[in-house]
A = this chain, B = another copy of it.
Amino acid sequence: MLKGKIPPAVITRLSIYYRVILESRKKFLSSDEISKLTDFTSAQVRKDLTYFGQFGIPGKGYNTDLLKASILNILGLDRRWNVALVGVGNLGSALLSYKGFSRQGFKISCAFDADPSKVGTKVNSVLIRDIKELARAVRANNIHIAILAVPKDVAQNVTDTLASAGIKAILNFAPVRPKPDKSVTVLNIDLSIELERLAYFLARKS
């Protein structure tokens, strides 16, 4: 089913295909129709899908029920993932209340902070624990993914703690790129860098 190396961008596109298929509510979609809905080329749609199998019917297109189920399975979204939030500041609190996550099998079930005045309180009905409890709570609650929203000077430290607690996937919002143990996947979302990219585009234009 799985052929050779898969370009990382393919995975992002699969998520996008899934969304537009879901919204279209049609029984069949051709690669050309998916292309129009996403602005990727139809060749790319077909190529991306064939990395994982043959889901289409020549002359007809793709059965969207099959395709939806297949993409969910490929992305590992046919199960629940427990998520911990580390760092309950402004951004962390917003992420804790963010509705978009729960939609696709993600559940933020634990939150941690170092500030004693926050520990013991609840945000969006999630109890905030002391960060010292992290390793124990990660194991006890079967946490798979950590969202890191801590100040930049402690990001590396917390990353190491998460790794030694057995976490294999981290979504990092701190404006540093922690160097993880090689068994750990870190995705960095750096808000300032994105704004800087926009500034670059603007500066070039004018």
Q: Could you tell me which A residues sit within 8 Å of B by CB distance? A: 8, 11-12, 15-16, 19, 38-39, 74-77, 81, 83, 90-91, 93-95, 97-98, 100-101, 103-106, 144-145, 168-171, 175-177, 179, 185, 187, 189-205
Measured CA separation A42–B12 after assembly (Å): 29
- Minimum CB distance partner of A191 in chain B: B100
Verify B201–A197 contact, CB threshold 8 A.
no
Q: Which residues of B contact A144 (CB under 8 A)?
A: 202
Report chain B residues within 8 Å CB of A11: 196-197, 200
* Smallest beta-carbon distance A2→chain B, Å: 9
Would B179 and A198 count as touching, CB distance under 8 A?
A: no
> Given A16-B193, A98-B90, A187-B194, is A74 in contact with B169 using a C-beta cutoff of 8 Å?
no
- Residues of B close to A38: CB separation below 8 A: 177
Is the Cβ of A76 less than 8 Å from the Cβ of B202? Answer: yes
Q: List residues of chain B with CB within 8 A of the CB of A76.
A: 199-200, 202-204
Chain B residues with Cβ under 8 A from A191's Cβ? 95, 98, 100-101, 189
Given contacts A90-B98, A94-B91, A101-B192, whether A75 and B12 have CB atoms under 8 Å apart is no
- Contact present for B15 and A104 (CB under 8 Å): no
Q: Is the CB of A179 within 8 A of B104?
A: no
Q: A90-B97, A193-B12, A194-B189 are in contact. Are A77 and B199 (CB under 8 A)?
A: yes
Closest to A185 in B: B201
A168–B192 Cα distance when bound, in Å, is: 18
Q: Which residues of the other chain, B, contact A74 by a CB distance below 8 angstroms?
A: 200
Write out the residue numbers on chain B whose beta carbons fall within 8 Å of the beta carbon of A105.
Answer: 199
